Amino acid sequence: MKPVFESNGYVEQFTLGSGELRFAVKDTLDIAGHPTRAGCPALADAPKAKQHARIVKVLLNSGCQLTGKTTLHELAFGVTGINPWSGTPVNPQYPTLIPGGSSSGSATVVANGDVDFALGTDTGGSVRMPAACCGVLGLKPGYGVLSRQGVLPAYSSLDCVGIFAREPRILREVLARVALPVDAPLASLPSMGFIFAAQPEIDALLVDALEALGIAANCVTLPLLGEAHRAGLTIINRENWLAFNALLASHAVSPDVASRIQAGESITSEQLACAENVRAHFTAQVNDLLEETPLLALATLPELPPTLEEAEDPLSVVNLTRLVRPFNLSGHPALSLPMGELQGRPVALQLVAGFGEEGLLVQAAEWLIRRRL
């Protein structure tokens, strides 16, 4: 079957529902009457879904209009958003750069102004990373906060449905419609601990930007941050092997994605146990730090987003997730927001809050963006 990609980031465009908020969804979420192909030729002939994913149903019932399904990095298992089969959407603000993965199409349709918001999924940064690459907001709620019923893969201990938007007020409206109301805008920002973990020039830009807004960058540390990234990779590799290894027999999965799925077979029970041990200790470490300061701040990406040409080797860019993936492991809510540019490439700030504090992240984004304008 030929690719279904249209050059604007969609794989299918249609209209469902009515209302003032228009949204699109990543093609890992079921839409009744439409196949869920996840950007993978092995799923080219997937049957039409019988019902909407639960989160989509909630949004349609709350007065939102669905405009279609968006492309992604194949099987949501990659960080660049490059997909030769279902297409690589153009990064609207930075067309020579990757759109970011895996929720590439959802980020680009928001950045292009085609919709008010879009849904993606985030297993190791797959909402926050493309948000950072495309210069928009990307919210990963806490694990389990938004339903994954009707989302591919059916099981994940890391994956969360997340939201892209250009403005915090849209995030506020969307959260209200999914029964996560956000309190009134903040008069002042609560204390914030800054983790220096990116390239020095990126951290310097972020610290300078915060200090220009009157926010002192109080240095804090998460000693297990690197181990948490590696543990997250171990778990996602094993869980994606369990979810997708049956597709490998078709020989239709692209070679780079197939090799990473195959690698999950060799992960031992001892390695998984070690990763779960890191999960427990890192989660406790984050919780302890959040008791001292309500917000943690760090770069979304440790390096500047690469160009499409620089990202041709998928393995060369895996470390781009090393500051976002840890918070999939711990399950804490996190949000990425644009904070400036270096060398003509976007730089984004990641905010992390305690469990159940998605609203605080939106309030903080409102406060920061309002004062930058």
pTM above 0.95, yes or no: yes
Rounded to a whole number, what is the largest CA-CA distance in the chain? 57
Confirm if 249 and 258 have CB atoms less than 8 A apart.
Answer: no
**pLDDT of 234 above 90:** yes
pLDDT in tens, 71-112: 999 999 999 999 999 999 999 999 999 999 999 999 999 999
Mean confidence (pLDDT) of the chain: 96
Say whether pLDDT at 283 is over 70: yes
Over residues 268-279, mean pLDDT? 98
pLDDT at 274 over 80: yes
Residue-wise pLDDT tens digits, 292-331: 999 999 999 999 999 999 998 766 787 999 999 999 999 9
- Compute CA distances 322 → 11, 97, 299, 327, 372, whole Å: 29, 19, 10, 10, 27
pLDDT in tens, 323-347: 999 999 999 999 999 999 999 999 9
- Residue 373's pLDDT is what? 67
**Can you tell me the distance from the alpha carbon of 1 to that of 35, in angstroms, rounded to the nearest whole number?**
13
348-357 pLDDT, tens digit each: 999 999 999 9
Given pLDDT bands bounded at 50, 70 and 90, which one contains residue 66? very high
Q: Is the confidence at residue 2, as pLDDT, over 60? A: no
Give residue 314's pLDDT.
Answer: 65
Q: Number of C-alpha atoms within 13 angstroms, CB side, residue 54? A: 9
Average pLDDT over residues 54-75: 98
* Distance (Å, whole) CA 28 – CA 4: 15
Token readout for 104 is 């590439």
Residue partners of 347: CB distance under 8 A and separation at least 6: 132, 202, 205, 206, 299, 301, 304, 338, 339, 340, 341
Ordered domains of the chain (ranges, CATH): 10-372 (3.90.1300.10)
The pLDDT of residue 6 is above 70: no
pLDDT over 70 (residue 27): yes
Q: What percent of the chain has pLDDT over 90?
A: 93
At 5, is the pLDDT very low, low, confident or very high (cuts 50, 70, 90)? very low
Per-residue tokens: 272: 């998984």
